[in-house]
Amino acid sequence: MTFYPLKVVEYLQETSDSASFVFEIPKDLRATFDYKAGQFLNFQIPWKDFFIERCYSLSSSPFDDERHQVTIKRVPDGRASNWFNDEVREGSEVMVAVPSGRFVLKDQRNNGLVFFAGGSGITPILSIIKTALLSTDRPIQLIYANRDADSIIFKQTLDELGAEYSNQFSCYHHLDSEGEFLNQKKIEAVVGQRWDADFYICGPGPFMDTVEAVLVEHGIDDDRVFIERFASPIDSDHAEAQASPEEEPQIGGVKLKITADGKDFDVEYLSGKSLLESVLADKSIEAAIPFSCQEGHCGSCMSLLKQGDVEMRANRALSKRDLAKGYVLACQSVPTSNNIWIDFDI
Ligand SMILES: Cc1cc2nc3c(=O)[nH]c(=O)nc-3n(C[C@H](O)[C@H](O)[C@H](O)COP(=O)(O)OP(=O)(O)OC[C@H]3O[C@@H](n4cnc5c(N)ncnc54)[C@H](O)[C@@H]3O)c2cc1C
């Protein structure tokens, strides 16, 4: 992955434990850094005598903002999030890879949109909401859960959007400090009659599990539910936690077929490599293959295993439900059967 040095042109303290960082994109990189609302940037961060990589969603909207902004909340004892909040200021230079990610607004639909955000999970959701308000007439409901009132990121922006688009957008703030975590009863009360909407979810694991379970109970089709999981990779100083290559299955004569951009391709599988590595090595494929971190935590290369069996080296992006539905991370998958077919067009 190529990382470009980008300069921070603005630093904005959002809450006591989160801040936004705005990057200047040089003219010759503008097209390279084009993005869709909801996508993220991958950062390479100096840590001791090596580098770690972390993804941060763009909280700006490509529709109303020339600037690329990410918003980062401190994680207790977290390396990158505290490094950003402590060290990075206007004038700092940070290594950044191009935008990526599948958690984006599905257009060509006109039903309502219901967003569930928890804590820093608001970042990609704000970007999508701003974009949907500017580009569609779809009614939008945001349910935003936080520990307490002081933890709400973008409170003022959300209030302003609520006032400006009062017929189209409303925001319900849930505060744990007022009693309990967001639960099924509250979710059903706030969603009201909007069960025909598209649902977007981003927040802490248990929060997303609660919301997902309610959507399942209401029979919401998977193609109307979009989820972004915030996870860190296993850093190289903790790499022993990952499966060692010796333990991986090695089988010969693998036939690999992929679907991408509506076309099927036969790919030469490179023994010992992941499916994604084999696909990227095949220069004859004329399709955009989605990928970013290549470490199993960003979910960009999520694909549907239509045929065959694979084993994943690591997985910090897919839920049990995703796995049960047959989704795999191409960057972490190695074949355990001979005929493999994965579909990136999901
Ligand atoms: C697609 C995507 C988009 C994201 N967007 C955002 C965003 O917009 N804003 C945002 O704030 N975050 C976002 N994240 C999360 C972000 O990438 C980081 O995961 C987060 O900031 C924590 O990273 P860190 O380096 O600070 O913490 P880490 O150092 O990764 O630590 C995280 C936690 O794990 C613990 N830990 C670390 N190593 C170990 C170990 N070996 N054993 C046990 N415990 C350990 C730490 O103590 C800490 O509690 C996103 C993630 C993804 C995948």
- Could you read off the pLDDT of 61-91 as tens digits, one per residue? 999 877 899 999 999 999 999 999 999 999 9
Neighbouring residues of 30: CB distance < 8 A, sequence distance ≥ 6: none
- Among 135-149, 177-191, 246-260, name the one with the lowest average pLDDT: 246-260
Q: Secondary structure of the chain: what % helix, strand, coil (to 5)?
A: 25, 30, 45
Q: Which of 63, 321, 90 is nearest to 216 (CA)?
A: 321
User: Which CATH number characterizes residue 321's domain?
Assistant: 3.10.20.30
- Give the DSSP per-residue string, 189-246: HHHTT-TTSEEEEES-HHHHHHHHHHHHHTT--GGGEEEE---PPPPGGGGGGSPPGG
Tell me, yes or no, whether 238 lies in a domain: no
> Measuring from atom 24 of ligand 1, which residue has the nearest CA?
78
Nearest atom in ligand 1 to the alpha carbon of residue 123 is 8
* 246 C-alpha to ligand 1 centroid (Å): 28
Which tokens in the block code for residue 346?
A: 């999901």
Tell me, yes or no, whether 334 lies in a domain: yes
pLDDT of residue 105 exceeding 90, the answer is yes
> Measuring from atom 15 of ligand 1, which residue has the nearest CA?
230
- 174 with 217, same domain: the answer is yes
- 150 with 180, same domain: the answer is yes
- 45 with 133, same domain: the answer is no
Number of domains in the chain: 3
232, 234, 236, 315, best to mutate for ligand 1 pocket (most atoms within 8 Å of CB): 232
pLDDT at 242: 53
Choose the final residue of a domain: 68, 96, 124: 96
198 is in which domain, residue-wise? 113-228
pLDDT tens figures, 317-346: 898 888 999 999 999 999 999 999 999 998
* 209 C-alpha to ligand 1 centroid (Å): 18
> Measuring from atom 36 of ligand 1, which residue has the nearest CA?
78
Residues for the chain: how many in total?
346
Can you name the residues that pair with 265 across neighbouring β-strands?
258
Tell me, yes or no, whether 310 lies in a domain: yes
Tell me, yes or no, whether 304 lies in a domain: yes
- 75 with 15, same domain: the answer is yes
Q: Is 303 in the pocket of ligand 1 (CB under 6 A)?
A: no
Residue whose structure tokens are 């960082």: 21
> Measuring from atom 42 of ligand 1, which residue has the nearest CA?
238
Choose the final residue of a domain: 69, 96, 123: 96
User: Which CATH number characterizes residue 198's domain?
Assistant: 3.40.50.80
* 149 C-alpha to ligand 1 centroid (Å): 23
Q: Is 102 in the pocket of ligand 1 (CB under 6 A)?
A: no
Tell me, yes or no, whether 58 lies in a domain: yes
For 63, phi and psi rounded to 5 degrees? -85, -35
* 199 C-alpha to ligand 1 centroid (Å): 24
Tell me, yes or no, whether 106 lies in a domain: no
- 65 with 127, same domain: the answer is no
- 264 with 299, same domain: the answer is yes
Q: Is 292 in the pocket of ligand 1 (CB under 6 A)?
A: no
User: Which CATH number characterizes residue 55's domain?
Assistant: 2.40.30.10
CA distances from 20 to 71, 123, 259, 324, 326 (A): 4, 10, 37, 37, 36
pLDDT at 310: 96
- 82 with 33, same domain: the answer is yes
Tell me, yes or no, whether 101 lies in a domain: no
- 215 with 117, same domain: the answer is yes
Q: Is 56 in the pocket of ligand 1 (CB under 6 A)?
A: yes
265: amino acid identity, one letter: F
pLDDT of residue 246 exceeding 60, the answer is no
Q: Is 297 in the pocket of ligand 1 (CB under 6 A)?
A: yes
- 92 with 118, same domain: the answer is no
Return the higher-pLDDT residue of 22 and 293.
Answer: 22
